Structure 1
Amino acid sequence: MKRAALLLAVALPGCTLPGKRTDAPGTTAVVPPADWRTPLPSDGPIRADWWRSFGDPALTALVERALANNIDIQIAAGRVEEARATEALSRAQLLPQLGGVAAETQGQTVSPLGTPSRAIGAQPSLSASYDLDLFGRLRVASRAARAQLLASEAARDTVRLATAATAASGYITLRALDQRLSIAQATLAARADALRIARRRYETGYSSRLEYRQAQGEYSATAQLVPAAELAISRQENALSLLTGTVPGAIPRGVPLDRLTPPPILDGLPSDLLRRRPDIFQAEQTLVAADRSLDSQRAAMLPHLSLTGSAGIVLSTALANPVGVFSLGASILAPIFDGGRLRAQEQAATARRDQAAFAYRRTALTAFREVDDALAGVRRTGEQATELANQTEAARGALQNASNRYRAGYSGYIEQLDAQRSLLTAELSLVQTRTDRLTSYVALYQAMGGGWR
């Protein structure tokens, strides 16, 4: 892959964050690249349908059902709504605060002649306050909340992508278990035929008791593979049911394992495709939020200037005419001595920013590793599957020859037994390798953030 185009500002040392920063000794700050990733719609699914590339409608339906009903996705969506409310609250801090009150009073008044009388009055008023935010404390806090909202949306997308990949891998594993069960049943039928022949030869005196006992043992060894495969299938179906948010039950099947056709991988995939990974975008926005929180914490050390005002009228039965009242004032609040509280909070924010920077770099490097692992898995398991297919064909031919020689009396049962064991091992290994190859494709799709089209 062409790695020079992506994330070098993220994964390589020597970059600095915007603005003046005092980094801890030995730390390396990083800067997010411009136009890093276009956020996905907050109320829509991931705009990638890579699971359709395998050509199995049952697989497609399973993944889409998991994306619609998975509980982890719903929990992540709830966190997004919480972050959205927090971001709205931070934006509200930038606006003037208005309030009103209409107090009612009752009492008595005394005239100059000493005659008391009852008086009823009211004083409606409107008050307003506004923080001028001279040093950007509230504005930076609002930007930090916005970055946290984007990070939570990316976290939700990460869960969606992982859910789709888990559903696809689980379905592939299920089809592999189905094929293992089919192989075990076919082998069991062949062993039953061999056991029948061995019993007949033993009863007629053409073979020893040893061959008959060997045939019995091999039949039982193969028979236990059937319930083991059925148990694994049941557990895999239950796991997929949980993933799709439903009660345990049967999972619909589509095409067999050997007919799943992932698309070919283009040579020279651009590393820019890694920009689609939501976990990288999440790490970036977490870094941005930590950086803005540090700015806000530093601004908290500076004076705060607030304007306040109120206006109202006084209404009373004791007054001939209403009386208007108003007030206007300003206040400056500056920390003088707080025992080092603000300084400690600023140091904690700096440490969180440095942690987010290192986490950002680690996420980028992990992305490269996952892509390389998936590409190597696709390539090497493909080569392994080719050789195992050749081995399976050779073992099948050897079993045919050994069976013919055994029935004709030219060889002992041990040759046929060895050929049966070799064929069973080769067939199961081929199924496992094909499964690994298909799951490597799924891992590659996930590592590339949802495909490369």
Structure 2
Amino acid sequence: MSSRIAAGCAALLLAGCAATVAPPPASSLQTPAAWRTAAEGQGSGPVARQWWQSFGDPALTALVTKALENNGDLRIARARVAQYRAQIGVAEAGRKANVSVDSAPSRARQLAYTGAPYVTNIYQAEFQASYEIDVWGRLAALTDAATASYQAEQANADAAALSIAATVATGYLNLRGLDAQLALTEATLKLREQSAALAKKQFDVGYSSRLEWLQAQAEYQTTAEQVPQLKRQIFEQENALAILTGGNPGPIARGAELADLQAPPVPEGLPSELLRRRPDIARAEYNLIAINATLQATRDQLLPSFKLTATGGVQNLQWHDFVNAPTALWRLSGIVAAPVFDGGRVQSQTDALAAQRDQTVHAYENAVRTAFAETENSLGAIGRLKEQAIQNDARRATAAETLRIAHNRYRNGYASYLEELDAQRTLYSADVGRLQLKTRMLLASVDLYRAMGGGWTHP
């Protein structure tokens, strides 16, 4: 009993040799009970992992799938995951015995004490085994740090995949919005051409002034100028999507028209669920686990280490005897090593890691706050855009009625053609605004799915 008490006291004294660690900072993070913006028409289920399929466009689904398979940034992220997975094996190897074999036959010509030369042959084979007893858990902490780093890198790859999927979906929806604007502009250009021809004809017969004809011609040229601009934007958007999917710049296959695309319903999700779903939050959490484990392993460097070594082998001067009846040699030893004075190196390393841990804590809190803000902004954007769409519908209806009246007045000779041109501009502006609003509502849905984690959940 006395020997056990002495051993326990010695262990406590040795544990006191570990470096001191500053306590972590107090957290000021608070999880809201509900979202600030009440979402209307919520869905009945959680966020789908492949949420882009909710838009109902096979071309969009194929584009995102291709990007997740071939995107260069994702391939880099997956290679880093494999690298960190291999580092777990490196850390685990430190907790296992290390065995090596050495065979070194030698032949030497030497002088005897009489001065006569002689030749000796030495045939030997030796193996060595060493094992460190992880008394304080330092090696286990290093393995935990490597495991958490691997999990953080896996979450980083998931975050990259979510970002790529959202970027591809955003690019494709923008492309369909530009396609719709181009179709509207080309249809409007035909009407402007007809109006300019009519104004020219009326000017030639003296029915209208030269001002009206020039105004109609200018309106036609203004509309015609927008066509190559939109085509350039479509061309650049296609190239950007092609690069995102891991290919060369080129055309992109289209699916549903912009008018047929519908934003998916707002998914369910409480603020607390967001913490388990977003991969960037998971990455910050795993980084915190990794730095804590590394801090523990660094702190324990001042504690003594216990190692067992065994050396064994066979040796003989004759090859025949070495093969048939060699002489066996062995040695078994235990080593206890502890630092006496290191100039404060380990304590300084511990303090540096403690400061890095505090940075990781703050980074985790920032990631959570950013997630809350992005989700709130996306929910608010969807609600405000719906309200704006209602006003846009009213504005377009008014503009269409104004154009009808202006056209009738001009046709009956009660107004000049300039009134009809102005009404045409107003209606065209409302139509463009409607297309842009539809695109922005679809993009807001993508932003919401990105903010809510997109279903990228790992155990």
TM-score (norm 2): 0.86
Match of 2:146 in 1: 145
Give the Cα separation in 1 of the matches to 2:362 and 2:165: 28
C-alpha displacement at 1:452, in angstroms?
Answer: 11
**Counterpart check, 1:442 vs 2:449:** no
C-alpha displacement at 1:264, in angstroms?
Answer: 2.0
Query: For 1:317-360, what per-residue CA distance to the aligned partner results, in whole angstroms no more than 9, with x for missing partners?
Result: 29976322111112222222222211111111101111110011
Whether the 8 Å CA contact 1:287–1:357 is kept in 2: the answer is yes
Whether the 8 Å CA contact 2:263–2:441 is kept in 1: the answer is no
Whether the 8 Å CA contact 2:123–2:319 is kept in 1: the answer is no
- Please tell me the residue identity of whatever aligns with 1:388: N
Match of 1:361 in 2: 365
From 403, 407, 410, give the equivalent of 1:403: 407
Moved more, 390-399 or 354-363: 390-399
Whether the 8 Å CA contact 2:278–2:456 is kept in 1: the answer is no
**Counterpart check, 1:431 vs 2:429:** no
- Please tell me the residue identity of whatever aligns with 2:330: F
Match of 1:229 in 2: 230
Give the Cα separation in 2 of the matches to 1:268 and 1:449: 10
Match of 2:133 in 1: 132
Q: 1:318 to 1:409 in 2, by over 3 A?
A: closer
Q: 1:268 to 1:106 in 2, by over 3 A?
A: closer
**Secondary structure of 1:313's match?**
strand
From 381, 390, 395, give the equivalent of 2:394: 390
Give the Cα separation in 2 of the matches to 1:140 and 1:237: 49
**Secondary structure of 1:300's match?**
helix
Match of 1:7 in 2: none
Query: For 1:106-152, what per-residue CA distance to the aligned partner results, in whole angstroms no more than 9, with x for missing partners?
Result: 13588999986543221111111111122111110110000000000
> What does 1:244-393 correspond to in 2, within 5 Å?
244-265=245-266, 269=270, 271-317=272-318, 322-393=326-397
- Please tell me the residue identity of whatever aligns with 1:70: N
Q: 1:30 to 1:140 in 2, by over 3 A?
A: farther
C-alpha displacement at 1:207, in angstroms?
Answer: 1.2
Match of 1:22 in 2: 22
Number of equivalent positions: 419
- Please tell me the residue identity of whatever aligns with 1:420: Q
Query: For 1:163-182, what per-residue CA distance to the aligned partner results, in whole angstroms no more than 9, with x for missing partners?
Result: 11111111100000001101
- Please tell me the residue identity of whatever aligns with 2:341: F
Q: 1:375 to 1:21 in 2, by over 3 A?
A: farther
Equivalent pairs: percent with the same residue? 41
Whether the 8 Å CA contact 1:30–1:357 is kept in 2: the answer is no
Whether the 8 Å CA contact 1:121–1:315 is kept in 2: the answer is yes
> What does 1:82-93 correspond to in 2, within 5 Å?
82-93=83-94
Whether the 8 Å CA contact 2:22–2:351 is kept in 1: the answer is no
Give the Cα separation in 2 of the matches to 1:268 and 1:309: 59
Give the Cα separation in 2 of the matches to 1:131 and 1:452: 40
CA RMSD of aligned residues (A): 2.5
Whether the 8 Å CA contact 1:28–1:358 is kept in 2: the answer is no
Moved more, 124-133 or 105-114: 105-114
Give the Cα separation in 2 of the matches to 1:111 and 1:432: 101
Give the Cα separation in 2 of the matches to 1:452 and 1:316: 67
**Secondary structure of 2:332's match?**
strand
Q: 1:128 to 1:194 in 2, by over 3 A?
A: same
Query: For 1:52-106, what per-residue CA distance to the aligned partner results, in whole angstroms no more than 9, with x for missing partners?
Result: 1111111111111111111110000011011111111011111010001111021
Q: 1:414 to 1:298 in 2, by over 3 A?
A: same
Whether the 8 Å CA contact 1:109–1:318 is kept in 2: the answer is no
C-alpha displacement at 1:267, in angstroms?
Answer: 6.6
Query: For 1:214-241, what per-residue CA distance to the aligned partner results, in whole angstroms no more than 9, with x for missing partners?
Result: 1111111111110110000000001100
Match of 1:207 in 2: 208
Give the Cα separation in 1 of the matches to 2:249 and 2:320: 79
**Counterpart check, 1:422 vs 2:416:** no
- Please tell me the residue identity of whatever aligns with 2:283: Q
Give the Cα separation in 1 of the matches to 2:267 and 2:73: 33
Give the Cα separation in 2 of the matches to 1:224 and 1:402: 25
**Counterpart check, 1:162 vs 2:163:** yes
Moved more, 103-112 or 252-261: 103-112
TM-score (norm 1): 0.87
- Please tell me the residue identity of whatever aligns with 2:340: I
Q: 1:422 to 1:315 in 2, by over 3 A?
A: same
- Please tell me the residue identity of whatever aligns with 1:92: A
Give the Cα separation in 1 of the matches to 2:331 and 2:27: 49
**Secondary structure of 2:69's match?**
helix
> What does 1:24-103 correspond to in 2, within 5 Å?
27-29=25-27, 48-103=49-104
Give the Cα separation in 2 of the matches to 1:232 and 1:109: 87
**Secondary structure of 2:310's match?**
strand
Give the Cα separation in 1 of the matches to 2:447 and 2:147: 31
Give the Cα separation in 1 of the matches to 2:275 and 2:111: 84
Match of 2:36 in 1: none
Match of 1:176 in 2: 177
- Please tell me the residue identity of whatever aligns with 1:441: S
